[in-house]
Amino acid sequence: MKTLIQNGTIVTATDRYEADIFIDGGVVTTIGKNLKVAADKTLDAKGKYVLPGGIDVHTHLDMPFGGAFSVDDFQTGTIAAAFGGTTCIVDFAIQERGHSLRHAWETWMAKAEGKAAIDYGFHMIMRESTPELREEMGAMVKEGVTSFKLFMAYPGVFYLDDASIFRTMQRSGEIGATICMHAENGPVIDVLIEQARAKGHKAPKWHALTRPARLEAEATYRAICLAEVADVPVYIVHLSAAEALEQVTAARDRGLPAFAETCPQYLFLSYDNYEEPGFDGAKYVMSPPLRDKAKQKDLWRGLKFNDLQTVATDHCPFCMKDEKQIGKDDFSKIPNGAPGIETRMSLMYDGGVLAGNITLERFVEVTSTSPAKIFGLFPKKGTIAVGSDADIVLFDPAGSTTWSAKTHHMNVDYNPYEGRVCKGAVDTVLSRGEVIIEKKLFVGRAGRGEYVKRKAR
């Protein structure tokens, strides 16, 4: 299949120029002005931005968590991602207690195979750190699982103590892998939760009130120190607190390989959402929680000056009418997570680029190029260049998108941005040269997505 994209404005992390793109066999083979080539399909991109497909390196599809399963599986979740202009995800396989890493990887491969509509890779969540598991990390890297997520939060569920974290970090350093860290002080948070429950506090807002920003900052600092001594890069996932960002900035100023991602929810939603009437605050129960609106400017500054390198979603949806009800009478039982796989690119364009917080090139960088570079996908993914996969989005700056649970494609019964109008719209999406979104329709196929073996450092 040969495809020609004509007349568009190509935007990468570094360039913006008008040119045509010729795609053959799923990869970009020629970029130039007024290309004269024989193509099977020609797309006219006049007036449109031609962007590298979004890469979301933090999703939880079909994930068992908090007594439920996240409600998007690899079919509904990746189709929603494609509608939103994302063409590659890195999801989290979860090692079960007493089971191997390979068992986890194969379980998650089976969840994705036959369902994923876009390409996918996996990080590995390690619930334990035994000598056998640490040895096995090397075999996982050979399979393309080159990053391991550890938790300083959720005692009894995912939490690892500092010694286990440190040993796992050392092993990660030996084999060229990256540590992804959920940085919140879980044991202290559990004390605050216990005290709040003892006082009879039940409402969703108590989820946020028992997870103070300082405990995210403390864990972030500790993670960075442990990683420094273990001599391994550390990537702080879903950073929400300006106080935590200060720790990342200080580490980077010292020349450490400390990286951090934030998520649209921390840039566009705030603690105020927990004060919505009735049980509605449960829509926003996620960890870390939403923070003060006044601090969002610090996150934007971090994104602008590269102290935050990526924007991912932490997409982990639960329905308000079903799963979230588990915590109706106890905030600490509300399944943690919110939807976002479809809304990320739109929000970052409207609220990031058009609002003057970041440039269009930086938008491409934080939503596609940097994630690809940090997680071993570049230059196959994350840019538009000769030899790269033709994962491409034609984005219409003259269009607009109104977000609503009634019209979104995520399999969840609410949208955290209900009613928000975002200028700009995803027009056409190509995955490895194949058009999968056209005229607001999914024209791809579930199961066409391929596993991407990621490189180690």
What is the Cα–Cα distance from 171 to 177, expressed in whole angstroms? 8
Q: Which of residues 172-201 bind Zn ion (CB under 5 A)?
A: 182
Contact 44, 296 (CB under 8 A): no
Token digits of residue 3: 């495809």
The pairing of strands 234-236 and 258-262 is: parallel
Report which DSSP code applies to 408: -
428 pairs with which residues across the strands?
Answer: 394, 438
Site string for ligand URP, 53-72 (x = CB under 6 A): -------x------------
Residue listed under structure tokens 């931005």? 49
314 binding Zn ion? (CB under 5 A): yes
Task: Give DSSP secondary structure letters for 7-34.
Answer: EEEEE-SS-EEEEEEEEETTEEEEEETT
Q: Is 182 in the site for ligand URP (CB under 6 A)?
A: yes
Should residue 205 be labelled a site residue for ligand URP when binding is judged by CB under 6 A? no
Among 95, 273, 310, 336, contact with ligand URP (rule: CB under 6 A): 336
State the binding string over 208-247 for Zn ion (x if CB under 5 A, else -): ----------------------------------------
Q: Counting contacts by CB under 6 A, is residue 220 touching ligand URP?
A: no
Least gap, CB of 388 to Zn ion (angstroms): 27
Least distance (Å) from ligand URP to the CB of residue 63?
Answer: 7
Is residue 393 within the footprint of ligand URP (CB under 6 A)?
Answer: no
Binding residue (CB under 6 A) for ligand URP from 249, 273, 287, 383: 287
Considering only residues 245 through 274, tell me which ones interact with ligand URP, judged by CB under 6 A.
none
Residues 20-79 that bind Zn ion (CB under 5 A): none
How many binding residues for ligand URP (CB under 6 A)?
Answer: 9
* DSSP state string for 311-355: E---B----TTTGGGGGTT-GGGSPP-B--TTTHHHHIIIIIIIT
What is the Cα gyration radius of the chain? 21
Q: In angstroms, rounded to a whole number, what is the distance separating the alpha carbons of residues 167 and 373?
A: 25
Span of 168-176, 201-209, 306-314, 383-391 interacting with Zn ion by CB under 5 A: 306-314
Contacts to ligand URP by CB under 6 A: 60, 182, 238, 286-287, 314, 316, 336-337
